[in-house]
A and B are shown apart, each in its own frame.
Chain A
Amino acid sequence: MRVTTAETRKATRTISGAQAVVRVLEEAGVEWIFGHPGGASLPLYDALYDAPRIRHVLCRHEQVAAHAATGYARASGRFGVCTATSGPGATNLVTGLADAMMDSAAVLAITGQVVRANIGTDAFQEADVTSITTPITKHNALVMDPHALVRTLREAIYLCQSGRPGPVLVDVPRDVFQTQIPEELLDEPFEPRRRPVTKGHPARIAEAAEAISQSRRPILYVGGGAQGASEPLGRLARRCRIPVTVTLMGKGAFDETDPLCLGMLGMHGTAYANYAINAADLVIAVGARFDDRVTGRLKDFCPHARFIHIDIDPSEIGKNKPAHVPIVGDAREVLEALEPLVQPPDVDAWWKQIEEWRTRYPLRWKPGPLLKPQEAIEGIYRLTRGEALVVTDVGQHQMWAAQYYKCRRPRTFLSSGGLGAMGFGFPAAMGAQFARPDALVVAIVGDGGFQMTMQDLITAVEWKLPLKIYVINNGSLGMVRQWQELFYNQRYSAVQLRNPDFARIAEAFGAVGIRVERSEDLEPALQRSLEVTDRPVVVDLIVDPEENCYPMIPSGQSVKEMILGE
């Protein structure tokens, strides 16, 4: 009886576009939206007023909203949502979207647009956002037909997570938000245009198993695409004793404290990981894309190796290095099928060689009169017992964090890898904390990058996020300074930073601020920071400004040109 009445009513009922957006988001399980309102998105915010299940985090800059959505997505494995108004709001999202694109983060961006009649007339706060974001989104759409709004948004939610994840932007004119549409549009089932191939081709998988079984010097090269494939990856590596090297994006997909793990490879990777991969006869690339920061000069990368390349994105296979065994598919599904087929190869001699490299060329730093950045990161690692969810910014500290903070679990190391966007660290850490409220979330940032987005400390204070923000403060744009020292004759151009007192800034925002200038103050300060549970803590760690990040393979060179450092 009641059902019938409800249904009859439903057939004639209408809701606004904005209400439909909120309903679709609720259905998809969205709990948090990171954003900043404005004229064109007013109707959306009005609809959010009636949506108690969705909470909105008011970020003070849309770039922060986009990075926070990315941090949320990458820490949780779900998708993150950000929103901005038309024009300047949307253009402020650009850096965050480009970062999410490069690092394959599932981000949904909803932007307001000027009313349809004004599009293309240089109206107030108008920008051609779908054109601007075309190369930096997986997909985008401008919704001109209110009846297409629900379908477009559902497709966006599907696309940002499916296959190789990435940002999808939906641009909605204000009057489309305001148009009344039939509520029954919400009942239309959504069918994606097509689905990605997730199961690897059995013949290729058999070929790969054979290649691994026959190899003598195999190595697993693990990228961000393996974050969901830890279990089969771990089984394959452990049963066959295959050494594992991880990229910046792959950190955490395999336990770095396991002796099988050689740590990160590439420009600032461990010497032994780089020696090993370049001596390998078989490279098993899992969800990795042969980025130039990993390979250096392509023609000299792994000169003796055959490549098995497992990736869900067919356009990555063979892009930079030809794959001998290409496998298109989801890393987890492919490895689950592959692992049981592999006969453990004979790797005794290989491990002897690797152990020799590991002993001879360990990661190292020398203590000095000043606090060393590596010392600070080792301290953070020790005091957080290696249990933290670490988010970094971009620069020297990022590489030191990657080298010295060993990750054990997937989705516990977030960094702007592909885009290398300074300003990413702190906002992404906020997003990660919303995704995992009980996790110990640590942002390791530089003094340069932190200043790009630190205005949002107030947001973290407002939400009582117990974030630990460790500023590795060397008073300069350290990585640029390092390159000027090594490759530009020590002509230091625009790298010196006159910094504010970060601890006092933190206090002004209502966070806890601590300043550390000497090695002996490090542990007590870190300890104090870990005791704060109701607000963010900023620990300003004044470190040796001369310290460089080593080992280093200079840009465009090979392992032969690796600089090991003092």
Chain B
Amino acid sequence: MSNALPTPHVRSERRVLSVLVDNVPGVLLRVVALFRRRGINIHSLAVSVTEDPAVSRITMTVECPAALAESVVKQVRRVVEVRRVRDVTDAPRTERELALVKVNAPAGVRSEILEAAQVFRARPIDLTEKTVTLEVTGSPEKIDAFLNLVARHGVREVARTGSVVLLRGSATT
């Protein structure tokens, strides 16, 4: 039997999708199920209400071939509560993510960590004798870079919000 798995020679890439939906229960399940069905892993997912309380924005990043993303995007568009869907990967956009990072910070290295944090404009938001918790905002790449930098001190825990995106300029999704 044929199955719809993406053929191995087609390269997967990171796609960023912005979906505007009615702010009602169950929509997220419908949208996410369409990706799950095709075996697409969702890398990040951010959902929140927009300037209009009746509308929520789902921002998701997925890893899959571009053509597959396009096919699923069309199916997402069929969901009754979905108002707009846009693959913004190739559009000029502003993209931000926030991460909370809890790093081992014994007295000897603490100032070194805080110095590194300054370069990344990460703010300490909690401090104990053994650890410091930092808040860092930026593109996912910047957060990756910061995590790499502090990795050698031992990262105890990370919580990332996932990307949120708006188009550049006056354009709207």
Q: Which residues of A contact B (CB under 8 A)?
A: 130-131, 134-135, 138-139, 141-142, 159, 193, 292, 297, 313-315, 317-319, 555-556
A134 CA / B30 CA spacing, docked (Å): 6
B66 to chain A, nearest CB (A): 13
A561 to chain B, nearest CB (A): 14
B160 within 8 A of A: no
Say yes or no: B80 contacts A159, CB within 8 Å.
Answer: yes
One of A130, A135, A138, A556 near B1 (C-beta < 8 A): A556
One of B26, B37, B80 near A135 (C-beta < 8 A): B37
A contact residues around B71 at 8 Å (CB): 315, 318-319
Say yes or no: A556 contacts B77, CB within 8 Å.
Answer: no
B20 to chain A, nearest CB (A): 13
A139 CA / B78 CA spacing, docked (Å): 9
B contact residues around A139 at 8 Å (CB): 79-80
A90 to chain B, nearest CB (A): 16
A273 CA / B79 CA spacing, docked (Å): 36
Q: At the interface, is chain A mostly helix, strand, loop or mixed?
A: mixed
One of A134, A297, A313, A319 near B26 (C-beta < 8 A): A134
Contacts A314-B77, A555-B2 aside, 9 further interface pairs with beta carbons under 8 A come to A134-B33, A193-B80, A292-B2, A313-B78, A314-B74, A315-B75, A315-B77, A315-B78, A556-B1
Give the residue name and chain of the B residue nearest to A156 (CB): B80
Give the residue name and chain of the B residue nearest to A139 (CB): B80
A contact residues around B33 at 8 Å (CB): 134-135
B29 within 8 A of A: yes
A contact residues around B30 at 8 Å (CB): 134
A contact residues around B74 at 8 Å (CB): 314-315, 317, 319
A317 CA / B78 CA spacing, docked (Å): 13
Give the residue name and chain of the B residue nearest to A159 (CB): B80
A106 to chain B, nearest CB (A): 15
A contact residues around B29 at 8 Å (CB): 131, 134
A contact residues around B25 at 8 Å (CB): 142
Interface string of B57-83 (1 = CB under 8 A from A): 000000000000011001101111000
Say yes or no: B26 contacts A556, CB within 8 Å.
Answer: no
B123 to chain A, nearest CB (A): 39
A314 CA / B71 CA spacing, docked (Å): 10
B contact residues around A314 at 8 Å (CB): 74, 77
A165 to chain B, nearest CB (A): 13
Interface string of B1-16 (1 = CB under 8 A from A): 1100000000000000
Give the residue name and chain of the A residue nearest to B25 (CB): A142
User: Total interface residues on B, using CB and 8 Å?
Assistant: 16
A482 CA / B149 CA spacing, docked (Å): 63
Q: How many A-B residue pairs have CB under 8 A?
A: 36
A464 CA / B49 CA spacing, docked (Å): 56
Q: Which residues of B contact A (CB under 8 A)?
A: 1-2, 25-26, 29-30, 33, 37, 70-71, 74-75, 77-80
B120 to chain A, nearest CB (A): 41
Contact sample, A vs B, 22 pairs, CB 8 Å cutoff: A130-B26, A134-B26, A134-B29, A134-B30, A135-B33, A138-B80, A139-B79, A139-B80, A141-B26, A142-B25, A159-B80, A193-B80, A297-B2, A313-B78, A314-B74, A314-B77, A315-B74, A315-B78, A317-B74, A319-B74, A556-B1, A556-B2
A432 to chain B, nearest CB (A): 28
A contact residues around B2 at 8 Å (CB): 292, 297, 555-556
B contact residues around A134 at 8 Å (CB): 26, 29-30, 33
B contact residues around A131 at 8 Å (CB): 29
A contact residues around B70 at 8 Å (CB): 318
B40 to chain A, nearest CB (A): 15
A contact residues around B37 at 8 Å (CB): 135
Known: A135-B33, A318-B71. A555 touches B78 (CB 8 A): no
Give the residue name and chain of the A residue nearest to B73 (CB): A315
B1 to chain A, nearest CB (A): 6
Give the residue name and chain of the B residue nearest to A168 (CB): B80
B19 to chain A, nearest CB (A): 15
A227 to chain B, nearest CB (A): 20
A contact residues around B80 at 8 Å (CB): 138-139, 159, 193
A555 CA / B79 CA spacing, docked (Å): 31
A129 to chain B, nearest CB (A): 12
B contact residues around A141 at 8 Å (CB): 26
A134 CA / B80 CA spacing, docked (Å): 12
A138 CA / B78 CA spacing, docked (Å): 8
A113 CA / B29 CA spacing, docked (Å): 20
A contact residues around B78 at 8 Å (CB): 138, 313, 315
Highest count of chain A CB atoms <10 Å: which of B29, B37, B78: B78
B contact residues around A292 at 8 Å (CB): 2
Known: A135-B33, A314-B74, A314-B77. A555 touches B1 (CB 8 A): yes
A292 CA / B26 CA spacing, docked (Å): 31
A98 to chain B, nearest CB (A): 13
B21 to chain A, nearest CB (A): 11
A314 CA / B37 CA spacing, docked (Å): 19
Closest 9 CB pairs of A and B: A315-B74, A139-B80, A556-B2, A315-B75, A292-B2, A135-B33, A315-B78, A134-B30, A319-B71
Give the residue name and chain of the B residue nearest to A314 (CB): B74
B71 to chain A, nearest CB (A): 6
B7 to chain A, nearest CB (A): 10
B contact residues around A193 at 8 Å (CB): 80
A296 to chain B, nearest CB (A): 9
A4 CA / B77 CA spacing, docked (Å): 46
A556 CA / B2 CA spacing, docked (Å): 6
B23 to chain A, nearest CB (A): 13
A142 CA / B71 CA spacing, docked (Å): 28
Highest count of chain B CB atoms <10 Å: which of A142, A292, A314, A315: A315
